[in-house]
Amino acid sequence: MFVYLFYTVGGTFTRIFAEPLVVDEVFSTQDVVKQPDFEPFKPLIAKKQLAGRGRKGNKWFSPPEAGLYLSFKIPKDFFIETENLSPISLVCGLSVAETVDSFAFSRIKWPNDVFIGNKKVAGILVETNKEFITIGIGVNLNIQNFPSELKGYATSIFLETQQRVDFFEFTQLLLENLSRNLLVFRSEGFEPFVELINRKLLWRGKRVVIDRRECGKLLGVNSKGLAIIKTCYGKIKEFSYGDISLRRG
């Protein structure tokens, strides 16, 4: 069972989520939550997705009762500072990583994934319109077998620890971490998260390639959530988006 998390003390938010809606099956939690009549701050959790997706329309492997498939939306005007909301994917990524760390040590792969070792265990999808930010989170909890195209790249907490994860325990902890971090982001912006994320940043200090177009050393993320790369030619560049991979050789 979930605890009702949305309440205030003296007019100040202390938790932000309404009681989650748990369903057996949907095509995509993200698409349901984006509907105009779906309540803001109410997490939708599906035990199975028929058409889950990640960034760039990539399909998200969503077998029944083996992962966490979660979406919610937040009004943009909930945030005090609305000029720089793009790092919200990293704030959510940190929340996921902090939750995964209760089971196995994880790192954040800029801009929107969580890894255990060099394999992906979770992903975050952020979509916006004029009114809302819709956030989708997928975490591989107890998946034991992946399709051939994902083997060697994806993992689950179960595969890394050989212990089953309690779905409700994990989800409750994740919602608490999300609530705490999003409230800090609401009032203080991204600055309080920069050091925390850089400490957990995958491949920091390593030679990487972004979108197969730029190589260099990953120095970290800055106060805007941008990836800072020292290129192979010694130039410092900032990247607002892209897919980072480890440079071999």
The string of pLDDT tens digits covering residues 112-168 is 999 999 999 999 999 999 999 999 999 999 999 998 888 889 999 999 999 999 999
> Where does the pLDDT of residue 47 fall: very low under 50, low under 70, confident under 90, or very high at 90 and above?
confident
For residue 56, pLDDT over 80 is answered with no
- Rounded CA-CA distance 24/49 in Å is 9
CA nearest 153: which of 58, 25, 49, 51? 58
Residues 23, 130 share a domain: yes
Segment 60-73 shows an average pLDDT of 85
157 within 8 A of 115, measured Cβ to Cβ:
no
Task: Kindly tell me if the per-residue pLDDT of 173 is higher than 80.
Answer: yes
Q: How many whole angstroms separate alpha carbon 83 and alpha carbon 166? A: 38
Same domain for 102 and 39: yes
Distance from C-alpha of 106 to C-alpha of 120, rounded to nearest angstrom: 10
pLDDT greater at residue 175 or residue 53: 175
**Confidence check: pLDDT of 55 > 70:** no
The answer to the question of residue 138 being in a domain is yes
For residue 127, give both structure tokens: 């979509």
Domain-embedded: residue 1: no
C-alpha distances (whole Å) from 178 to each of 24, 78, 162 are 23, 15, 26
Q: Tell me, what's the pLDDT at 181?
A: 96
- 204 pLDDT band, cuts 50/70/90, is very high
Q: Give percent of the chain above pLDDT 70.
A: 88
Q: Residue 3 above 80 pLDDT?
A: no
CATH number of the domain to which 211 belongs: 2.30.30
Q: Are residues 110 and 136 in the same domain?
A: yes
For residue 46, tell me if it sits in a domain. yes
The answer to the question of residue 86 being in a domain is: yes
Q: Is the pLDDT of residue 63 over 60?
A: yes
Helix (H, G, I), strand (E, B) or coil at 102: coil
Residue 187 shares a structural domain with residue 231: no
Q: Would you say residue 57 has pLDDT above 80? A: no
The residue behind tokens 């994934």 is 113
- The answer to which of 6-10, 50-54, 177-181, 227-231 has the lowest mean pLDDT is 6-10
CATH of the domain at 149: 3.30.930.10
Who contacts 41 (Cβ-Cβ below 8 Å, separation ≥6)? 6, 16, 17, 18, 72, 73, 74
Q: What pTM does this model have?
A: 0.90
* Best mean pLDDT range from 65-79, 87-101, 235-249: 87-101
The β-bridge relationship of strands 21-23 and 44-46 is: parallel
Low-confidence winner among 28-37, 97-106, 240-249 (lowest mean pLDDT): 240-249
pLDDT digits (tens, 9 = 90+) for 6-34: 444 455 556 789 889 999 889 899 999 99
Same domain? 117 vs 81: yes
124 lies in the same domain as 23: yes
The parent domain of residue 125 ranges over 7-199
Question: Would you state the pLDDT for residue 8?
Answer: 47
Domain total in the chain: 2
- Residue 180 has which token pair? 């705490």
163 and 214 share a domain? no
In a domain, 84, yes or no: yes
Note whether 180 and 233 are same-domain residues. Answer: no
